[in-house]
Structure 1
């Protein structure tokens, strides 16, 4: 029977904090890599993350903090990566310790820029982690709601179902329900695409399109997602499962969604730079849009929503014009 052993969280943001809260409740010990020593010092002094989800209290005696990623990797068996995807490569550049024998879980709902690889593929191709040692964490899961202990449903994807089950056993609790899946690549690509579609939804919101159109937009988005997933990883899946459709819905509609907020600002006339500065948080869909557009040049899947968001964000085409063209393609 597989045992996750000692578990460490890699990342210091809101989702990392929420995941750490879930895990430490079961294990009463975690390792936690944060890149800044001053953030670690403040965390120990205050008993909470000084920057994100500050209402979540921790017993810091149950946490081994380190700003040295190599020390964490050496000491822990299961590594849960929860860094924003644009920064993953920079964190890993410091890594001198082999991770191929570790159980690597990516809770990163993004894609690695420049490489155009979802995170499990990146760990496999660059760090030689075998697929049976790679898992992903997906599902509709705003960190803020998890921190408030509101009921949430998570899916652990891994080709080794015993390992997936072992990690779900660590997560499952009163307010966290879990299930397992073997569709790692599908879950990861769906997590990238739902951010793109949330930006589209936000742009339409900023342009004052109403709920009626938003419903049509999301209906078309799930069809577009299904076409792409079938092309790149044509296994049998139910696109209406919570890890696909559920995550799309919560990211597309919720006020907690950074990508929806970013899109709304673009729809209201903000420039890309001004929207990013004002948000002070990463909207991963901005980077994911470019990566997915480049990936789809190989697959040639019909993806009008992705194309529209790309044209707005990267070709600086007017949101009013581009969304009007998009509306004419819907039925």
Structure 2
């Protein structure tokens, strides 16, 4: 039976904090890489993350912090990456320690920019980590609700099911139900696409479209997601499973969704820059939209919602005009 060993968190945002809360309750010790020393010092002084999920308290004796990613990588066996995809390469370029033999879990719901690779493929191609040592964490799971210990369902995917099961056992608790899967690629792409569709939902919300249309939008979104996943990675998957459809719905509908919030601002007439400044948080779907558009230039899947969001965000087409064209394509 695989043992996850010593576990470390790479990243300091809200989802990283929520995952740390789950893991440390099971292991009673974690390593935690944060890039800023001042943030670490404030964390130690306050007993909670000073910037995210500030109500979640930690026992400082159970955490070893470091702003040097190499110290964490050297000392820990399982590395959970929870950084925005747009910044993952900036963190990894500081890495001088080999990670080929580590068990790497990506909880990043985004694509590595420029390379246009999902995170597991990036770690495999650039750092030579074998697929059996790569896992992803998916499912409908807003960090804010996990912090409040509201019942959530997570899926751990890995080609090695024993490793997926071992890591899922670390996460399972009264308020976290877990299941395992082997569909790493499908879950990672679905995690990216649901952010794009949540931006679309937000734009429509900002334009005052109602619940009736939102239901049609989400129905078309899951069909679009299914077409893409079937094209790039054919597998006997059930698109209505919570890790696909559930994550899409919670991201498209919830007020906790930063991608929906970002889209709503765009629909109300905010510029992209002003929306990003006001949110003070990363909307992964903004970067994911461009990456998925470029990936789909090779796949040629019919993806009208992706195209519409791309045209609004990157071609500066009027949201009113673009969404009207999109509504005419729905049935």
Q: What is the TM-score normalised by the length of structure 2? A: 1.00
Following TM superposition, the consecutive aligned residue runs of length 4 or more in structure 1 with deviations greater than 2 angstroms are none
The CA deviation string for residues 295-319 of structure 1, in whole angstroms up to 9 with x for no partner, is 0000000000000000000000000
State the partner residue of 2:109.
109
CA distance in 2, matches of 1:37, 1:271: 33
> Residues of 2 paired with 1:99 and 1:45: CA distance?
31
Cα displacement (A) at 1:241: 0.2
Equivalent residue, structure 2, for 1:129: 129
CA displacement, residues 204-225 of structure 1 (integer Å, 9 cap, x when unaligned):
0000000000000000000000
- What corresponds to 1:54 in structure 2? 54
Deviations 1:269-325 (A, max 9, x none): 000100000000000000000000000000000000000000000000000000000
Shift of 1:200: 0.1
SS of the residue corresponding to residue 177 of structure 1 reads strand
- Where structure 2 has 5 or more consecutive residues not aligned to the other structure, the ranges are none
1:204 matches 2:207: no
SS at match of 1:297: helix
Aligned positions of 1:141-156 closer than 5 A = 141-156=141-156
State the partner residue of 1:194: 194
Give the corresponding residue for 1:315: 315
**Residue-by-residue CA offset, 1:183-229 (whole Å, 9 max, x unaligned):** 00000000000000000000000000000000000000000000000
What is residue 26 of structure 1 aligned with on the other side?
Answer: 26
Give the equivalent residue in structure 2 for 1:160: 160
2:265 is the alignment partner of 1:229? no
Q: What TM-score comes out, normalization by structure 1 length?
A: 1.00
Report the counterpart of residue 35 of structure 2 in structure 1. Answer: 35
Q: Residues of 1 paired with 2:111 and 2:257: CA distance?
A: 17
Alignment of 1:66 with 2:66, yes or no, is yes
Output one character per residue of 1:85-115: Cα deviation in whole Å (capped at 9) or x when no partner. Answer: 0000000000000001000000000000101
Secondary structure of the 1:137 match is: strand
- Alignment partner, residue 171 of structure 1: 171
Q: What residue is the counterpart of 2:7 in the other structure?
A: 7
User: Where do residues 205-284 of structure 1 align in structure 2 (5 Å cutoff)?
Assistant: 205-284=205-284
Q: How many residues align?
A: 331
